[in-house]
Amino acid sequence: MTIYSLYIFDRHCACVYYQDWHRTVRPKLAVEGGMLPAVYAPVYPATNPDDASYSNRNTLASSSGVVVAVNEDVPRTPLPSQASHSPEQPPPPTSNLSFDEEAKLVYGVVLSLRNMIKKLSGKDEQFTNYQTSTYKLHLYETLSGYKFVMLSDPNADSLRFVLRQIYSGPFLEYVVRNPLVEMGSRERGIDNEYFRMSTDRLVKGLTVFQ
């Protein structure tokens, strides 16, 4: 089974985080003003070096050594999902859609199918996933309105348990409990180095990950 990508949307319908693994077509640079900063640095249209950086700092509680605030101006080590390509191997092709357009399409599909299912089957029915010939979309929605969306190959079983693990683990630890992350601010995303690395470690540690 192959896991392609992860999107997180807040209750204001904005994409606040993105990460991918086995994606064959790379996302295209977003248009200026089309996406929030601190979502996915490689596609952010930075006009100012400070805009593309991770603004939050790594802060350790002096007594316990527990991370209470994360995110550096520039990660000291390359993140696993941003590995460079060797000169002999050309980079993968780029999508025709800008990243902000792509994120809007993903959210639009989720919203449309969720509303259709509620109208046809009642409010108690939940939309959890749908499948096409090329991919499968998995959805986990929190009580606070955050939507975790994962794309995988069409033969995958339900991955809601993975999205729930991301929410109850790295998301709560490095986003909700991080005083430097402004959740629901409408001004920036939730990306930080520890959340990204912890999510990457969790996904790659799954027995279903290939």
Whether residue 56 lies inside any domain: the answer is no
The 10s digit of each residue's pLDDT in 153-205 is 999 999 999 999 999 999 999 999 999 998 888 899 999 999 999 999 999 99
Whether residue 71 lies inside any domain: the answer is no
Domain CATH for 31: 3.30.450.70
Helix (H) or strand (E) holding 161: helix 160-166
The 10s digit of each residue's pLDDT in 128-163 is 999 999 999 999 999 999 999 999 999 999 999 999
Whether residue 79 lies inside any domain: the answer is no
Whether residue 73 lies inside any domain: the answer is no
User: Residue 37: which pLDDT band, with cuts at 50, 70 and 90?
Assistant: very high
Whether residue 52 lies inside any domain: the answer is no
| Domain span holding position 163 | 3-44+96-205
The 10s digit of each residue's pLDDT in 83-138 is 445 556 666 788 889 999 999 999 999 999 988 988 888 777 788 999 999 999 99
Predicted confidence (pLDDT) at residue 7 exceeds the cutoff of 80:
yes
Whether residue 159 lies inside any domain: the answer is yes
Whether residue 65 lies inside any domain: the answer is no
Whether residue 78 lies inside any domain: the answer is no
Helix (H) or strand (E) holding 20: strand 15-20
Task: Enter the tokens of residue 83.
Answer: 């590995």
Domains identified in the chain, total number: 1
User: Which residues contact residue 114 at a Cβ distance below 8 angstroms, ignoring those fewer than 6 apart?
Assistant: 127, 139
